[in-house]
Amino acid sequence: MTSIGIIANPVSGKDIRRLVSHATVIDNGEKINIIERIVLGAQSLGVDTVYMMNDSHKMGMKVRDRLKSSNELKCEINLTDTITFNSIKDTVNAAEFMEKNNAGCLIVLGGDGTCRAVAKAVEQTPVIAISTGTNNVYPEMLEGTVAGMAAAAVASGLLDRQSYSERDKRIEIYSVSKLLDIALVDAVISNNAFVGSRAIWDMDEIEKIFVTRSHPASIGFSSIVGCSKVVLPEDDFGAWVNLDNDTDTILAPVAAGMLEPVKSGEPMELKLEQEYEYTADDSGTIALDGEREIEFVKGQRFTFKISRKGPYRVNVVKALEAAGRNGFFKLT
């Protein structure tokens, strides 16, 4: 049996940053269209089972019903047997379910936050991330058909993993030697003491930024580092920076259509497994890949560390090229 998993976040791209920037809106109808193309591309190349997250908006059920009605569905679409919480737990549980059921590849539709949730659960399953969220440094803009083709090639087991994927970095946040949480792209220390709407959009709230990757072509907090220092996914280091009023002002694309002046210090490298100790001067929160997740009080201590324990990210172009070299597309 050749199987893949699809996790589509029904609420990705709907946070408050949509109201304060000019980000592209990808509604659930378009997500369903993308998923249909993924399924059709994957089943044409030998995938006989597709696991889908059982979400509150019934996107998986709608895809299955629509493809059955059009007589195009040849594979099985199985909705995950997990409890629905209408929260990040749904994504984490679905990813965990799919890895336990030996899905050969996982396709994620969402933004950086959705990809982070998947990364909290998977250890070995290769991931293809399609951008349908607000901050989209980690996922890519991909055609669903092509993503389905690449997932089928990866799930076939015919390709050498090193030919199409690399293991990504992640930021690990510890307190009293306990791993609290992770981020795939950036972790931001904010002086806002409450999680609230989760998303950060006020640059004056930010004290420090940690990144696994940074580039001026990215949108979001990592671009603040990237406008001074480029850190690539393959680099064996990340970086951190202080934001304060005694340093240079840079213009950075902190949101879609918004270049903001930011007081930023010089970015400093943080090598893999190197620990950065932080003690809070006041109450605040830590945002992970754009969303506030950890609240803290004055005097609380944290350790930030970058490791290469993130997911195996599929390079779709390389996967399809390797598939072609191995005769994967030949009918005879």
- pLDDT reported for residue 163: 94
* Residue 83: both structure tokens together: 């409890």
Report the first-to-last Cα separation within the chain, whole angstroms: 21
DSSP string over 265-327? ---EEEETT-EEEEE-SS-EEEEETTEEEEEE-TT-EEEEEEES-S-EEE-HHHHHHHHHHTT
Q: Which domains does the chain have, with CATH numbers?
A: 3-168+310-325 (3.40.50), 170-307 (2.60.200.30)
- Report d(CA 14, CA 91) in Å as an integer: 16
φ/ψ of 92, rounded to 5, equals -60, -45
- pLDDT reported for residue 146: 98
- Report d(CA 162, CA 84) in Å as an integer: 35
Q: By C-alpha distance, which of 139, 147, 54, 34 is closest to 97?
A: 54
- pLDDT reported for residue 85: 78
From first to last of the 332 residues of the chain, give the pLDDT tens digit. 899 999 999 987 555 454 455 566 788 999 999 999 999 999 999 999 999 998 888 999 999 999 999 999 999 999 998 777 788 899 999 999 999 999 999 999 999 999 999 999 999 999 999 999 766 899 999 999 999 999 999 999 999 999 999 999 999 999 999 999 999 999 999 988 766 555 666 777 899 999 999 999 999 999 999 999 999 999 999 999 999 766 789 999 988 888 999 999 999 999 999 999 999 999 999 999 988 899 999 999 999 999 999 999 999 999 999 999 999 999 87
Strand partners, 96: none
Distances (CA, A) of 111 to 15, 104, 134: 11, 22, 6
Q: With H, G, I as helix, E, B as strand and everything else as coil, classify residue 178.
A: strand
- Report d(CA 200, CA 60) in Å as an integer: 31
- pLDDT reported for residue 19: 47
pTM given for the model = 0.92
Contact 36, 60 (CB under 8 A): no
Q: By C-alpha distance, which of 188, 293, 295 is closest to 240?
A: 188
Phi-psi region for residue 61, left (φ > 0), alpha (ψ -120 to 50) or beta?
Answer: alpha
Contact 25, 18 (CB under 8 A): yes
Contact 179, 70 (CB under 8 A): no
Amino acid in the structure at residue 144: G
